[in-house]
Amino acid sequence: MKPPLVLSTTRYTKLADDITRLLGDNGRSSPDIPALHREHFPDGETYLRIEKPVQNEHVVIVGGTATADEMIEIVSLAWQVVRDGADRLSLVIPYYGYSTMERAVRPGEVVRAKVNATILSAIPNPPGGKVTFLVDLHAEGIQHYFEGNFSVVHLYAKDAILTKVKQLLQTETRPLVVGSADTGRAKWVESYANELGAEIAIITKRRHDGETTEILNVGGADVKNKVVLLYDDMIRSGGSIVKAAEAYRKAGAAKIIIACTHLVLTKQDEKKTLTKVLGSADALITTDSIPFADSLTSSPDVAAKLHCVSLATLFATTVLAGGRVD
């Protein structure tokens, strides 16, 4: 069986290339014959042309949905490959944007997580079906927002993250405690702790607004003179995770390792946000669900603390398995 043809949005070319290599090249990603031609015009419009034939092919499109432009590019590519006769379509979405807007709290609020799922669901069905792969959703229910004959596979980055955690702890003799920035991640923390044979210490907090939180208590295991693995699914402004790290330090933690799946970062000043988070920890582990700009990781201080693990193997394995997860 020949490997799928992999396309990607602008930001995800590196991850798409890694997935392509794992799926099996067969000459399909030859730099002399690119799969996709893209041009950006001065007026902001983008030209796309799929250079390779897709008829009767299994096409994989890799891209996040953090911005409207990324969403439109995914939908545009997907519609075109189905129109051109692709047999199967797989959407690999490492980061599902607007996942914190999964429900309306006040009248008139737009549930963007549902809107985006509805837009993606409108992509025509190829003969062999379509499936989307999502990773560590902020709210589990989002996978059920997709409609029609759209299979959804929710994947977890835990194994990839824990592999790196175990590497960092190889020479560590102090006990490990797994913690979280709030009680909302309690089940995730329990899962990580079970895998590592560690105790749990959870922080309770009160959120005052989108950027301000108040730490109320560190409950559970005693963290004094221990290593704390502090997990959250995503880091944006960094406020919650930094305050949590400070709380564990005050409770006596000897070392803080922060782990997150989606390092989103505040777009107004990504470098400042990353510096703030790194300054609160001894190490930061994340995935390539959101690509970093080279300018963010070029500093030796950042490189020494930031550990990025790839999701390429996770995606390639499940794509080849047809969406089945063991």
User: In 3D, which of 214, 209, 229 has the Cα closest to residue 285?
Assistant: 229
d(CA 160, CA 18): 15
Active site residue 2: no
146 neighbors 120 (Cβ within 8 angstroms): yes
Q: For the chain, how are helix, strand and coil distributed in percent, rounded to 5? A: 35, 25, 40
d(CA 295, CA 312): 23
d(CA 162, CA 164): 5
User: In 3D, which of 163, 4, 25 has the Cα closest to residue 92?
Assistant: 4
* Catalytic-role residue among 114, 130, 164, 205: 205
d(CA 104, CA 101): 7
Paired with 232 in beta bridges are: 260
Q: Which residues contact 102 (CB under 8 A, 6 or more apart)?
A: 111, 113, 114, 138, 139, 141, 142
215 neighbors 243 (Cβ within 8 angstroms): yes
208 neighbors 186 (Cβ within 8 angstroms): no
Sheet of 130-135: strand order equals 5-8, 58-62, 88-93, 130-135, 150-155
d(CA 253, CA 245): 9
Give catalytic residues, as residue numbers: 205
